[in-house]
Amino acid sequence: MAQRTLPSLFVSHGSPMIALEPGAAGAFMRQLGPALDAAFGRPRAVVVASAHSLAREPALLAAARHATVHDFGGFPQALYQLHYDAPGAPELAQRAAQQVRDAGLPVHVVPEGGLDHGIWIPLRFAYPNVDVPVLPLAFPADWSPRQLFALGQALAPLRGEGVLVLGSGSITHNLRLVFTRTADADAAEMPESAAFRRWFADHAAARDHEALFDYRRQAPHAAFMHPTDEHLLPWYVAAGAGHEGPALRVHDSVTMGCLGMDAYAFGAQAGVLQQQLREAVAA
């Protein structure tokens, strides 16, 4: 099929254990690749802003090929045996860098590569054949949501060229709660987590960007759900890339009672993807 403009996406990758214990979010990510292919055609590349790839200024990792980075410790050996060594996108890096510079923002193109677990785990579910080139975008953890939204806006034209812009983090992310409150993946959700996720989904649906930029003051339990906010910041990159259209929550789940696994689609095509996913579930 002819390539159509893609929505941009945010996915919650949660704990690295999702690679071995997919749960509802892993099942969603397995559906995501086929749904994108059916609705829009296979992406020619994926630009990914992950919570685990940070830099002092935006940087595109333009290696011709990426190795899997197991950037975690203390997990079962089976997790370290998983690999997702994907092709890179060095030519796209130059195109993407020009878009960012044209927007008046700094960006670096570096020949290094490597996929952190916030990148390779979601893509391993969505595109298990490792046949989509990947361009990681490292971002500054001290940039504000407004700045990262602008960074995403600069990348928006790539969507019309068959490039998927993806943010990978977690809609809630308090690791102390994850490791001390419960080991039960099916535990009932904490009220604080539910309130934060509901606030975020409601304000996203209303496209209330000013409130979302100020989420740490306005959202309920924001600092509790995000003691540091690097896992939420990729949401703003993806939202900026799809700024012209709605922000739709296309997946909604929680693990361990406090780790939100929500996913969002952005842009004029977000509803098309949402419908394709609903049809896949109904089939």
pLDDT digits (tens, 9 = 90+) for 168-188: 999 999 987 877 755 567 788
Strand stretches in the chain, DSSP E: 8-12, 45-50, 59-61, 108-110, 134-138, 163-169, 247-251, 254-255, 259-260, 263-266
CB count within 10 Å of CB 49 equals 30
Average of pLDDT values for 199-221? 98
Helix (H) or strand (E) run with residue 201 in it: helix 191-205
- Where are the chain's structural domains? 8-282
What average pLDDT does the chain have?
A: 95
Nearest by Cα to 201 from 235, 227, 242, 157: 235
What would the pLDDT profile of 100-156 be if each residue is shown by its tens digit?
Answer: 999 999 999 999 999 999 999 999 999 999 999 999 999 999 999 999 999 999 999
Average of pLDDT values for 61-86? 96
Predicted confidence at residue 282, as pLDDT, reads: 78
The label of the residue with tokens 């600092």 reads: 223
Pairwise CA distance, residues 235 & 89, whole Å = 22
Pairwise CA distance, residues 244 & 23, whole Å = 32
Predicted confidence at residue 3, as pLDDT, reads: 61
Predicted confidence at residue 186, as pLDDT, reads: 77
The label of the residue with tokens 């790539």 reads: 158
- The size of the chain, in residues, is 283
C-beta pairs of 18-22 under 8 Å, 24+ apart in sequence: 18/121, 19/79, 19/82, 19/117, 19/121, 19/124, 20/76, 20/78, 20/79, 20/82, 21/185, 22/125
Average of pLDDT values for 179-207? 88
Question: What is the percent of the chain with per-residue pLDDT over 90, rounded to a whole number?
Answer: 89
**What's the token pair of residue 129?**
């054949």
How is residue 142 annotated by DSSP? T
User: Band of the pLDDT at 31, cuts 50, 70, 90?
Assistant: very high
pTM of the model: 0.96
pLDDT of 54 above 70: yes
The label of the residue with tokens 């046949």 reads: 131
| Domain 8-282 CATH assignment equals 3.40.30.10 | no
